[in-house]
């Protein structure tokens, strides 16, 4: 996974932190998992979603 992807995700968390600190914390907490799923190119059926 590229450093750019991590930068984009961290930026998303930073932008959410003021209004939704819990959301931002969850994004950062799951950062490694998010990047691993993307790097492995798992099919959508195997990717975790907010509904799971």
Residue range 1-52, pLDDT digits in tens = 578 889 999 999 999 999 999 999 999 999 998 888 888 888 888 777 665 4
Check: CB of residue 47 under 8 Å from CB of residue 36: no
The span from the CA of 20 to the CA of 1, in Å, is 26
Burial grade of 52 (CB within 10 A; 0-12, 13-18, 19 or more): exposed
0.75 exceeded by pTM: no
Q: What is the pLDDT of residue 25?
A: 95
């Amino acid at each position: 996974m590229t450093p750019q992807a991590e930068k984009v995700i961290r930026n998303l968390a930073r932008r959410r932190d003021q209004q939704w600190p819990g959301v931002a914390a969850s994004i950062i907490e799951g950062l490694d998992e998010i990047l691993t799923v993307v790097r492995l190119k798992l099919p959508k059926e195997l990717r975790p979603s907010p509904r799971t």
